C-alpha cells in the first residue's frame, strides 16, 4: 500500500517551496485536497498566470507585467538618482516612504559567500551598464544592513566608484542586522535623508 | 507603485497553504519566480492533476485514484476487521508495520471541540453505515493518543457499541500525546497486537 501517485506527486511538488519539508508538504496536500480544493485550483491558476505574465523590468530588473515597470516608465521621476535594493519588496517599502523620487535597480538577491552566492549570481554587470548611462549622477545603495547586505554594498560601491560614479549609502538609521522589509517607514525615510557619501 | 497584479495574486494564493502567512507567501513567490520556475510549473501541474484524479475510496474514504483503494479492493484482506484511523498517513504507517491484514476506515480528521470540529464535520454516519454491514465483527480504533484523538475514540466507541459492535482500541504502547505518524513501526505494531476490548 502506497499513496496514489498523484498524491505523492503533489507532496513532492510542494517541497519546492522554501522552508517546506516532507511533513509540512504532506499536511499542505491533505489540507488542499480535503478542505480547500477551491484554494488549490486558485493556486494552480495563479502560478500559471504569474509564470506567463511576470517578467523582469528591462531597466530596473524588478518584477513587472510590462517591459518597463511603473517607476521606470514614469518620466516625472528624477533620472539622475539610482537606488540599489536587494528585492522588489524593498523597492515597495521605499516607495511607501514617499521620500524618494529617483529610479531603482533591484539586485534580485545579495552576495552570500556562505551560501555560495557570488558576484556572478546577482547581475552586477547589468547594474554597472545601467549606472554608467551618463544620466545617473548618484547611486544610492539601500541593501539591507545584514552582514550579506553590507558585503554586497561594499562590493557595489567599489565597482561603481571605479567607474567614476558618486556612490552613497542610506544612513544606518535602522537597527544593525535589520532588514528593510521589517522596519517602519519613518525610520527608513530618515535613513534615506541621511544617506552619506561613500569616501 | 504596487506589485504587479499577477504577483499579488500569486502571493495571495500561496496563503491558502496552512501555516503560510503574508511574509512567507511573499518569500515563496519570489523564490518560485526567481529561482525555480520549473518547480512552480511542476507544482501547478501537480495541483491540477491531483484535483482531477484524486477522490475518496468509496469504502474506506482514504485518497484513491480509483473507486476502491488497493486495500479495499484486495479480497485477501480480512473482511471482519475494520480499523479506524484519522488520516491517510496513519493508514500508511499501519501498513508499514505489516501486522494488520483487515480493512480500514479513514475519518479524514478528528473531533476538535476547540476548533469547532464536531461529529458532523468528520463523516461518522458513513463509518456507522460501513461498520454495520454484517460482515465486520470488530472495529479497532487507532486514532491518535492526543486529546482530540481520544475524544474521537470515545465518541466512536459509544456509537458503535450502541449498534452492538465489538470495539477495541490499539494499546497505549506509545507515548501519551504521541501521533501515529511520528512513532516507530515497532512500537506501533506492539500497540496493535495489544489492543484491548472497550468495556
Ligand atoms: Zn523598472
Ligand atoms: Zn479503501
ipTM: 0.72
Band of the pLDDT at A127, cuts 50, 70, 90? very high
A73-92 pLDDT, tens digit per residue, is: 999 999 999 999 998 888 88
Establish if A47 touches chain B: CB-CB under 8 angstroms: yes
| Disruptive mutation site among B2, B10, B67, B90 for chain A (greatest number of A CBs within 10 Å) | B10
DSSP annotation of B102: S
Q: Is there a contact between A44 and B48 (Cβ–Cβ < 8 Å)?
A: yes
Statement: residue A196 has pLDDT above 60 = no
A156-172 pLDDT, tens digit per residue, is: 999 999 999 999 888 76
**Ligand number with the minimum distance to the CA of A61:** 1
Three cell numbers at B171? 494499546
Contacts of A172 (CB under 8 A, 6+ apart): A145, A191
Establish if B98 touches chain A: CB-CB under 8 angstroms: no
Q: Give me the DSSP letters along B20-49.
A: --HHHHHHHHHHHHHH-HHHHHHHHHHHHH
CA B57 – ligand 2 centroid, Å: 5
Question: What is the H or E stretch that residue A63 is in?
Answer: strand A63-64
Establish if B2 touches chain A: CB-CB under 8 angstroms: yes
Contacts of B184 (CB under 8 A, 6+ apart): none
Q: Is there a contact between B139 and B160 (Cβ–Cβ < 8 Å)?
A: yes
Asked which of A107-111, A178-182, B36-40, B43-47 is least confident by mean pLDDT, the reply is A178-182
Instruction: Flag if A89 and B26 touch (Cβ within 8 Å).
Output: yes
Burial of A114 (0-12, 13-18, 19+ CB in 10 A): exposed
Statement: residue B29 has pLDDT above 90 = yes
Between CA B152 and CA B85 the distance in angstroms is 10
Selection from B123, B101, B124, B121 nearest residue B113 by Cα? B121
Between CA B39 and CA B47 the distance in angstroms is 12
Establish if A112 touches chain B: CB-CB under 8 angstroms: no
Chain A residues within an 8 Å CB radius of B34 = 108-109
Three cell numbers at A102? 529617483
Instruction: Give the rounded distance of the alpha carbon of A126 from its chain centre.
Output: 15
Instruction: Flag if B1 and A70 touch (Cβ within 8 Å).
Output: yes
| Residue A21: how many other CB atoms lie within 10 Å | 10
Q: What is the arithmetic mean of pLDDT over A100-129?
A: 86
> Rounded to two decimals, what is the model's pTM?
0.73
Instruction: Flag if B9 and A33 touch (Cβ within 8 Å).
Output: no
Q: Work out the angle at residue B107's Cα, subtended by the Cα atoms of residues B101 and B109, and round it to the nearest 5 degrees.
A: 135
At B198, phi and psi to the nearest 5?
-85, 115
Category of A196 on φ-ψ map: left (φ > 0), alpha (ψ -120 to 50) or beta: beta
Establish if A65 touches chain B: CB-CB under 8 angstroms: yes
Establish if A54 touches chain B: CB-CB under 8 angstroms: yes
B120-141 pLDDT, tens digit per residue, is: 777 788 999 999 999 999 999 8
Q: Could you report how far apart the first and last alpha carbons of chain B are, in Å?
A: 68
Q: Which residues 12-31 of A are in CB contact (within 8 Å) with B?
A: 12-14, 16-19, 23-24, 26-31
Q: Give pLDDT, residue B156.
A: 92
Contacts of B90 (CB under 8 A, 6+ apart): B106, B142, B144, B180, B181
B96-119 pLDDT, tens digit per residue, is: 877 888 999 999 888 887 888 887
Between CA B105 and CA B101 the distance in angstroms is 13
Q: From A63, which residue of chain B is nearest by alpha-carbon distance?
A: B4
Amino acid at each position: 500500500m502506497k499513496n496514489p501517485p498523484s498524491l505523492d506527486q503533489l507532496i513532492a511538488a510542494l517541497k519546492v517551496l522554501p522552508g517546506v519539508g516532507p511533513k509540512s508538504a504532506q499536511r499542505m496536500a491533505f489540507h488542499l485536497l480535503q478542505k480547500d480544493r477551491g484554494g488549490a485550483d486558485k493556486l494552480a491558476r495563479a502560478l500559471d498566470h504569474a509564470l506567463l505574465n511576470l517578467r523582469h523590468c528591462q531597466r530596473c530588473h524588478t518584477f513587472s507585467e510590462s517591459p518597463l515597470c511603473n517607476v521606470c516608465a514614469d518620466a516625472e521621476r528624477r533620472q539622475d538618482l539610482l537606488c540599489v535594493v536587494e528585492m522588489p519588496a524593498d523597492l515597495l517599502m521605499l516607495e511607501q516612504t514617499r521620500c524618494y523620487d529617483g529610479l531603482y535597480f533591484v539586485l534580485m538577491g545579495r552576495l552570500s559567500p556562505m551560501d555560495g552566492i557570488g558576484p556572478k549570481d546577482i547581475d552586477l554587470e547589468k547594474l554597472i551598464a545601467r549606472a554608467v548611462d551618463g544620466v545617473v549622477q548618484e547611486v544610492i545603495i539601500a541593501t539591507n544592513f545584514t552582514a550579506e547586505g553590507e558585503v554586497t554594498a561594499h562590493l557595489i560601491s567599489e565597482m561603481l566608484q571605479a567607474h567614476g560614479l558618486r556612490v552613497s549609502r542610506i544612513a544606518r538609521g535602522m537597527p544593525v542586522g535589520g532588514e528593510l522589509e521589517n522596519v517602519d517607514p519613518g525610520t527608513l525615510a530618515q535613513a534615506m535623508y541621511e544617506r552619506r557619501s561613500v569616501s
